[in-house]
Structure 1
Amino acid sequence: MNEKILEIDPFLKPYVSDIRLRNKNYVDTKKRLLTKEKKLSNFANGHHYFGFHKQKDGWVYREWAPNAKKIALIGDFNQWNRTSHFLQSIGDGVWEIKLTKKDKLVHGSKVRIEITTEKDTFERIPTYCKRVVQKKETVDFDGEVWAPETAFVWTDQDFKRNQDEPVLIYESHVGMAGIKEGISTFQDYIEIVLPRVKKLGYNTIQLMAIAEHPYYGSFGYQVSNFFAVSSKFGTPEELKLLIDTAHQMGISVLLDIVHSHAATNVVEGLAEFDGTEIQYFYSGKRGTHPEWGSKLFNYGKTEVIHFLLSNVKYWLEEYHFDGFRFDAVTSMLYHHHGLGVAFDNYDKYFSTNTDTEAVTYLQLAAEIAKEVDPDCILIAEDMSGMPGMCLPIEIGGIGFDYRLGMGVPDFWIKTLKNMSDYDWNLGSIWYELTQRRPQEKVVGYCESHDQALVGDKTIMFRLADQEMYWKMDVFSQSDIIDRAIALHKMIRLITCTCAGEGYLNFMGNEFGHPEWIDFPNPDNDWSYSKARRRWDLAEDTNLRYRFLQSFDHAMIQLVKENNLLATPSQLLFHHEDHKLLAYQKGAYVFVYNFHPVAQHTVTLQIEKASTAEVVLHSDWQRFGGYLNAENPETIVITNNKLTIPINRRAVAVYKIS
């Protein structure tokens, strides 16, 4: 390993000791883990050893529970008999039982284990269960042995992500995929959402809430069973079909993976699995998140690293995921979990602030993922901007490909919430959208699921508010709606083209989905009315949502076909009083007029070009404007000067040649 990161980011030089400690911890931990194996991918095979595995003459089941004194396998196969099927201790806290065909354990059998310690006896669901199902008569769950006689047949052997294309991510929640009031399924997503993603032009979907989580309203972020596909949405085979279908359509699939914390559930979760709080998690105060109340993994413990790295490998291997968005990385990186901390200087990233064991785990997770699939995509949800998060491990980085540009949506919220249109500072907008750590890639976005949740507002809802209920039809006149539609298009285009080397959109936000997401809970009488997607609104020709959807489609096609996210942005012009901003990306010039009332004419200095032709305009009729796009005007560039008029609250994109 070397320290090239110090050359890439000279501001890190005063922290050379921290970078060296990062490198040393990684090397030492990897050496400790690989006592018998040469590669992490050989080490991270917990899913091939633990759990239920079919043998020629029956089954073998293994579990790690070091505090147990006795373990019994119980289930419908033995009428929940607590004395007929005891596991045997085989050392190092590992327990095992072998069953023959006479034991009548089969695919689909409901199972639990009963653990006896020196102090207590209790039931748990096996940690490596591939399927966990809720009992119809109670809120309790059972594990389910999952090994179908006929294995799923993959047809995606020829699928390979185009490495030259930017990631254009359609963030998705399967349960919200349908219009119906209820929980949608993997099959619903295949039929309803995948064709939309393909038509809109996004090349990647990011699936949330896939690992089993008891509380639906947690959005999947309170995971209980890390190897189980949520039975709320369907079977493991149906998830495989979803991914296989996406691959056939040329769409990559990312998993929103949660290794930052775990649910506190004890029967169906990892909390106190063997009767102790320290089996998987830190003890005491350090083991509980101060804001979420969830359990925090002990990233320095070999068995925990083995469990989590095996989980990374499992999702890539078993389900053909193309990468991960790692949730709540900021919470992992720091002992204070980023709560109430402004990361305004480099001191905040290092020294006693940093959870160095978590940093090392993230490096190992990145390495194992790349070993299993060198082309996989790794995205860190890190709002702190930890230096080196998206630089290679061998030069002092943490090894991810992208970080989420989490400051951008916060910036837009503050701008829309606190400032009049006349007071918008375009210099600040440009700075917020274009600042990056050197050589580290970002996935830009103006809103994700976070901004769509009840208690917050999407951009469209924040702009239009209650007018969305009454004035979104094409027959009504509303200055509020006109402003909302215009700014929605402009904000999304400038964010998409400036805020990162990738782009993310939450499902439905492309057409300004009304209201917020509110999962069923006692306060709404367990209603699903706001935990779904109203796709019908975007298809109704009498409503204006379709204009926003059409613009989003055109925007995605423009950036994808011309690889614009990989093209640097060059600021050409900006005028605060007139609210004008122009920049160039390769052969494309983007001109914005954010002024609420005034049309302006802009003259730009353009080198080595003779003509400019408008290829996208937010005021075209198909986007809800009044301009006809049938015969786009070609403008002559004279003496390297391009002079163009631009309407109020509009953006025009020109191709120069």
Structure 2
Amino acid sequence: MPKDGTGLTVLDPWLDPFKDALRERYNFFNQWRERINTSVGGYENFTKGYEYYGFNVSKDGTITYREWAPNAVTASLVGDFNNWDVNTHPMKKNQYGVFEIVLPPKAGKPVVPHGSKVKISMTLPGTNERIYRLPAWIRYVTQDLNVSATYDAVFWNPEKTYTFKHQRPKKPESLRIYEAHVGISSSEPRVGTYKEFTANIIPRIAYLGYNAIQLMAIMEHAYYASFGYQVTSFFAPSSRYGTPEDLKELVDTAHSYGLTVLLDVVHSHACKNVLDGLNMFDGSDHCYFHEGQKGRHELWDSRLFNYGNYEVLRFLMSNLRYWMDVYQFDGFRFDGVTSMLYKHHGIGYGFSGNYHEYFGDLVDEEGVMYSQLANDFLHEKYPTVITIAEDVSGMPGSCRPVREGGLGFDYRLAMAIPDTWIKLLKESSDDAWCMGHIAHILTNRRHLEKTIAYCESHDQALVGDKTLAFWMMDKEMYTNMSDLTELTPVIDRGMSLHKLIRLVTHGLGGEGYLNFEGNEFGHPEWLDFPRDGNGSSFHYARRQWNVLDDKLLRYKYLNEWDKAMQETEEKYGWLHSPQAYVSRKNEGDKVLVFERANVLFIFNFHPTNSYSDYRVGTGQAGKYKIVLNSDDKKFLGHGRVDPNGEFFTTEGNWDNRDHWLQVYIPNRTVLVLAKSD
């Protein structure tokens, strides 16, 4: 494999014309890595910025506070502890634009008490204007809506901190992610807490058989309805849900269940708030961000980081290490990677897959470099780390190692899959579904680059759209989801297709699988955060676990199906096996057949037709048994298939397979077969 960043061309010869661009990209990464190595001794010191900047307390109680604010002329630390007096605690500025103050303890105690509200006050050049800002590296911020809508920085230095008791779990071979939002995890119309999530939700996730949790909206954000994507304080876990120690307990408890915990990290942009964000931090337009229009995202109405700035890189890379070391997260889902990689940020741009789109003037080489640096550091420091890119562009090499010229992510999200399911449900009748198209969308991914497949995103749960369950069953979910009522055609169809869509995506769509909280049991109603347009109501900003726990309601059947999917995958491991071989895409029968991990998947999507003695091909000879059957009555099926049936192969070519067997496959049913001998 070449060592100049052109290794991608060995895997994909179509990249050969772009060797020079790949080489330049890799050289740019190496220049920055070398700068980090020579300036501070490499990643190890560079990524410990949170031990240098912000508030740090020594064992004897001495507080050192530092802040990078090159545009400011003077700075003072102010807060409850000094009655907000700008004259009592001035800071000194060095040649690099870093202000510092050292506060020895008094009477054996820190000068700034734990829980004190603090700010940095600065004066600006020319006008001598005085400004007040929340410290950029602050570790806890709180909001008192009775006083102000903005957040207050809080000096977090408790006498007793949480002690982690459990080791990180082994890195999953097959990644099965449960995406969750702590705040909406209560059935009650209010903001849920870390402690409630720890006690009530983690056991549910473990019961279902997922092996990873992806936590959304943890980094503090000013606007709750932003879903956590307008971050104001990057080192502060959201105080809406509890304290930093509560979050540590949550992660540690998840580890005790063998669950990997991923953080939804937002380094693609930042909230434009000034009083409680990073915007205009030192009075300039360009402290952490690009100045002018280059530093603004038109669609998100937010600020864009300057990845080509040394201190900004230290801030962001230290942020990654902070969440890994201090909170023991196991990896990250990077939000908005498309925006980071391209100067157009993906706004109004439809990617066609032409390789010229991934090189040249359209690409933000500094954003590419940051992605490479972040992944290179994380995988060097933490061998078991998991990184996932949310990127719609499909940039070649996104999920290949940096040494090959890739970006270094482990996975990317297969974002076309949920769009396809919604489009089919909106625009096509069941008998018009194209098996070839479904198979193509689910298998259309770059060779040797891993993807996370999912049926529906958290965005599709928001008001204005519908979940898959809601698209299929709609108003009947309010009247016909009880076992005491007749199984109507609408509910029967919705429940059946919900199971098929989830398993075909699970089995065929990627090397990992993701589910958004509540969708596994067909959550009724949409998700709508409190806002001006709904009277600040929490009615829809919650997960209705009560409908799942009510044994008379039919949601339990979908929940048990989801559990069965995860457990069957755990046994056979198709997600970490090579991509499936699709042997049948019969448009008339609406039958889709594929093999993966020596497991045979047989889907009948036809709305009415069932088939007796239906012949399917297989590459493995022998006796087969049913290991998963969506028509089983425990999943609200009709019980038309004998669960104890045995299937014997016959030698002979069928659908380009060396053997075949025959099955009874009812309409809207999937059978999963595995060898029993």
TM-score > 0.5, shorter chain as reference: yes
Q: 1:487 aligns with which of 492, 497, 509?
A: 497
Q: Deviations over 1:426-477 (max 9, x none)?
A: 0011011012112100011111211111122111111112221222122133
* Contact 1:171/1:448, CA 8 A, preserved across alignment: no
Q: Which residue number in structure 1 is paired with residue 367 of structure 2?
A: 358
- Alignment correspondent of 1:201: 209
Q: Deviations over 1:109-160 (max 9, x none)?
A: 1111111112321110111110011124221221111122223211113x33
CA 1:608 to 1:203, structure 2 compared with 1: closer, same or farther past 3 Å?
Answer: closer
**Residue 621 (structure 1) aligned with residue 621 (structure 2):** no
The answer as to whether partners of 1:490 and 1:650 remain within 8 angstroms in 2 is yes
Task: List per-residue Cα deviations over 1:242-281 (Å, max 9, x = no partner).
Answer: 0000111100000000000000111111000000110111
Alignment of 1:542 with 2:552, yes or no, is yes
| Partner amino acid, structure 2, of 1:178 | S
Q: Does 1:645 align with 2:664?
A: yes
1:311 has 2:330 as partner:
no
Distance 1:106 1:542 in 2: 53
**In structure 1, what is the equivalent of residue 103 of structure 2?**
99
Q: Secondary structure at the match of 1:578?
A: coil
1:592 paired to 2:611 = no
Counterpart secondary structure, 2:478: helix
Aligned partners of 1:262 and 1:294 also within 8 Å: yes
CA contact (8 A) 2:171 2:384 kept: no
Could you tell me how far apart the structure 1 residues matched to 2:344 and 2:100 are?
Answer: 39
Q: Distance in 1 between matches of 2:642 and 2:605?
A: 25
Correspondences of 1:56-205 after superposition (within 5 Å): 56-102=60-106, 104-118=111-125, 119=127, 120-135=129-144, 136-157=146-167, 159-163=168-172, 165-205=173-213
Is 2:572–2:597's contact at 8 Å kept on the other side of the alignment? no
Is the partner of 1:487 in helix, strand or coil?
Answer: helix
For 1:162 and 1:127, the matched residues in 2 are separated by 33
Q: Secondary structure at the match of 1:35?
A: helix
**Structure 2 match to 1:329:** 337
Retained in 1: the 8 A contact 2:55–2:64? yes
1:391 counterpart (394, 397, 400): 400
Deviation at 1:57, TM superposition (A): 4.7
Does the CA contact (< 8 Å) of 1:288 and 1:294 recur in 2? Answer: yes
> Can you give the 5+ residue segments of structure 2 that lack an aligned partner in the other structure?
652-658
1:51 maps onto 2:54 in alignment: yes
Partner of 1:281, secondary structure, is coil
Secondary structure of the residue aligned to 1:188 is helix
Q: Deviation at 1:400?
A: 0.7
State the Cα distance separating 1:629 from its structure 2 match: 7.8
Partner of 1:272: 280
Structure 2 residue aligned with 1:502, among 464, 487, 512?
A: 512
Q: Distance in 2 between matches of 1:413 and 1:17?
A: 40
| CA drift at 1:628 | 7.3
CA RMSD of aligned residues (A): 1.4
Tell me, yes or no, if the aligned pair for 1:313 and 1:372 is still in contact at 8 Å. no
Question: 1:312, 1:368 within 8 Å by CA — same for their partners in 2?
Answer: no
In 2, are the aligned partners of 1:254 and 1:322 still within 8 Å (CA)?
A: yes
**Aligned equivalents of 2:61 and 2:537: distance in 1?**
48
8 A Cα contact 1:621 1:629, kept in partner: no
SS of aligned partner of 1:151 = coil
Answer with 139-148 or 604-613: which moved more.
604-613
Trace 1:174-323 onto structure 2 (pairs within 5 A): 174-323=182-331
Displacement after TM superposition at 1:340 (Å) = 2.0
- 1:408 aligned to 2:417? yes
CA contact 2:372–2:407 (8 Å) conserved in 1: yes
The 1:57–1:405 alpha-carbon spacing in structure 2 relative to 1, beyond 3 Å, is: closer
The letter for the 2-side match of 1:626 is H
Stretches of structure 1 that go unaligned for 5 or more consecutive residues are: none
The answer to whether the 8 Å contact 1:379/1:402 transfers is yes
Classify the secondary structure of the residue corresponding to 1:604.
Answer: strand
Q: What is the identity, as a one-letter code, of the residue corresponding to 2:584?
A: F
Amino acid in structure 2 at the alignment position of 1:637: T
Q: What displacement does 1:631 show?
A: 4.9
User: What is the number of residues matched between the two proteins?
Assistant: 655
Q: Say if 2:600 and 2:618, in contact at 8 Å, map to a contact too.
A: no
Q: Deviations 1:554-603 (Å, cap 9, x if unpaired)? A: 00111122111122311122210110111111331111111111112421
State the alpha-carbon separation in 2 of the partners of residues 473 and 57 from structure 1. 61
Work out whether residues 330 and 338 of structure 1, in 8 Å CA contact, stay in contact via their aligned partners in 2. Answer: yes
After superposition, give the CA deviation of every residue in 1:358-414 in whole Å (9 maximum; x if it has no partner).
000000110121233111000000111011000011111111100011111111111
Please give the alpha-carbon distance, in whole angstroms, between the structure 1 residues aligned to 2:501 and 2:640. Answer: 22
2:429 to 389, 405, 420: 420
**Inter-partner Cα distance in structure 1 for 2:643 and 2:524:** 34
Distance 1:626 1:264 in 2: 55
Are positions 1:26 and 2:29 aligned together? yes
Task: Assess if the C-alpha contact under 8 Å between 2:598 and 2:620 holds in 1.
Answer: no
* Structure 1 SS opposite 2:568: helix
Please identify, of 268-277 and 570-579, the stretch whose mean Cα deviation from structure 2 is larger.
570-579
How many angstroms apart in 1 are the aligned matches of 2:534 and 2:470? 20
Instruction: Tell me, in whole angstroms, the C-alpha distance in 2 between the residues paired with 1:633 and 1:608.
Output: 18
Correspondent of 2:645 among 627, 630, 633: 633
Q: 2:640 touches 2:666 (CA, 8 Å); kept in 1?
A: no
Contact 1:45 1:310 in 2 (8 A): yes
Aligned to 2:656: none
How far apart, in 2, do the equivalents of 1:75 and 1:293 lie?
Answer: 31
1:41 is aligned to 2:51: no
In structure 1, distance between residues paired with 2:285 and 2:337:
22
- Counterpart residue type for residue 387 of structure 1: P
Q: Does structure 2 conserve the Cα–Cα contact (< 8 Å) formed by 1:615 and 1:632?
A: no
Structure 2: distance between partners of 1:428 and 1:628 = 28
Offset at 1:335? 0.7
User: Does the 8 A contact of 2:573 with 2:597 survive in 1?
Assistant: no
Question: Which segment is superposed worse, 429-438 or 448-457?
Answer: 448-457
Normalised by the length of structure 1, the TM-score is 0.98
Comparing 344-353 with 194-203, which one deviates more in the overlay?
344-353
Q: Which of 558, 566, 591 does residue 580 from structure 1 map onto?
A: 591
Quote the Cα distance in structure 2 between the aligned partners of 1:608 and 1:90: 71
| Aligned match for 2:17, one of 14, 17, 26 | 14
* 8 Å contact kept, 2:182–2:192: yes
- Please report how far the alpha carbon of residue 37 of structure 1 lies from its aligned counterpart in structure 2 after TM superposition: 3.8
Query: 2: CA distance between counterparts of 1:4 and 1:440?
Result: 14
Tell me the CA shift for residue 4 of structure 1. 1.7
Check the 8 A contact 1:325/1:381 in 2, yes or no. yes
What is the alpha-carbon distance in structure 2 between the residues aligned to residue 607 and residue 357 of structure 1?
48
Check 1:133–1:607 CA distance in 2 against 1; reply closer, same or farther (3 A cut).
closer
Q: Provide the rounded CA distance (Å) in 1 between the counterparts of 2:456 and 2:260.
A: 21
TM-score after normalising by structure 2: 0.95
Query: Counterpart in 2 of 1:604?
Result: 616
The residue that corresponds to 1:529 in the other structure is 539
Structure 1 position 76, deviation (Å): 0.8
- 1:377 correspondence with 2:386: yes
Q: Residue type of the partner of 1:599?
A: S
* CA shift digits 1:295-329 (9 cap, x unpaired): 00011111111110110111111111000000000
The farther-off stretch of 345-354 and 465-474 is 465-474
